[in-house]
């Protein structure tokens, strides 16, 4: 996959066709599906490995998948199936579609509160090191690159607005959550399920804009 802002909706088939099955970045749906394809290739039991990784990041062994949510995703994820089939046709998915999508829909159903999400992302505010355990997840260089990618691509085709208004690397989800990072300072998560037309939390973006304006704690 690439590392460029999408500039189109997070589930765009048109852009994926134009780019010959190569997602613009890992944060749009097609990019997440490719990541899952890679994990299926790398691990014998990727669902177990993934949830264990999240538990280690947070220090909370009770975090798990929400089966009701993942089953609902599978039953209604027609556009995501269209994305994976299109990429498969271009030779950019190397494993069986069903196993890749089972992992993808499970990934989308991890159940966490705001504190747990913030804890999970703290290593990106700490040069790649998990503060509570000292585990090294990424090198400082790769941490910088990950944060840069969140800055430019973490909010679908509204990444420019988030940078302009909030001034932090971050990532949103269609469940209404947003997590944002200030390197060497903090990770912050907010949740409000009302989404704007771009698929980002309406109140979450307003709060973070106000937060960084009043605290003056952003990268700009």
Instruction: Please say whether the dihedral angle defined by the alpha carbons of residues 154, 159, 161 and 163, taken in this order, is positive or negative.
Output: positive
Q: Are residues 2 and 106 in the same domain?
A: yes
Kindly list the distances between the CA atom of residue 146 and the CA atoms of 27, 87, 152, 171, 174, in Å, as whole numbers in the listed order.
11, 24, 10, 11, 20
- Is the CB of residue 181 less than 8 Å from the CB of residue 121? yes
Kindly give the confidence (pLDDT) of every residue in the chain, 220 residues in length, as a single tens digit, with 9 standing for 90 and above. Answer: 999 998 888 999 999 999 999 999 999 999 999 999 999 999 999 999 999 999 999 999 999 999 999 999 999 999 999 999 999 999 999 999 999 999 999 999 999 999 999 999 999 999 999 999 999 999 999 999 999 999 999 998 899 999 999 999 999 998 999 999 999 999 999 999 999 999 899 999 999 999 999 999 999 9
CATH of the domain at 180: 3.40.710.10
Structural domains counted in the chain: 2
Structural domain boundaries enclosing 55:
1-111
Q: Are residues 164 and 98 in the same domain?
A: no
Q: Are residues 136 and 211 in the same domain?
A: yes
Please give the model's pTM, rounded to 2 decimal places.
0.94
Classify strands 177-182 and 186-191 as parallel, antiparallel or unpaired.
antiparallel
CATH of the domain at 86: 1.10.1500.10
H or E segment and range at residue 205:
helix 202-215
Q: Are residues 82 and 117 in the same domain?
A: no
């Amino acid at each position: 996959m690439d590392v460029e802002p999408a500039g189109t909706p997070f589930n765009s088939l048109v852009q994926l066709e134009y780019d010959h099955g190569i997602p613009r970045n890992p944060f749009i749906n097609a990019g997440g599906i490719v990541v899952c394809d890679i994990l299926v290739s790398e691990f014998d039991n990727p669902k177990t490995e993934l949830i264990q990784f999240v538990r280690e990041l947070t220090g909370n062994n009770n975090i798990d998948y929400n089966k009701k949510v993942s089953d609902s995703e599978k039953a209604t994820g027609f556009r995501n199936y269209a994305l994976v089939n299109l990429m498969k046709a271009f030779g950019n998915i190397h494993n069986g579609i069903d196993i890749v999508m089972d992992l993808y829909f499970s990934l989308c159903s991890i159940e966490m509160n705001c504190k747990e999400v913030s804890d999970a992302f703290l290593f990106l505010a700490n040069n790649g090191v998990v503060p509570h355990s000292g585990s090294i997840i990424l090198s400082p260089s790769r941490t910088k690159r990950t944060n840069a990618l969140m800055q430019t691509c973490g909010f679908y085709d509204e990444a420019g607005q988030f940078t302009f208004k909030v001034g932090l690397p971050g990532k949103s989800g269609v469940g209404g959550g947003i997590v944002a990072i200030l390197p060497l300072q903090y990770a912050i998560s907010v949740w409000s399920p009302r989404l704007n037309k771009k698929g980002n939390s309406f109140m979450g973006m307003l709060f973070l804009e106000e937060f960084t304006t009043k605290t003056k704690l952003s990268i700009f």
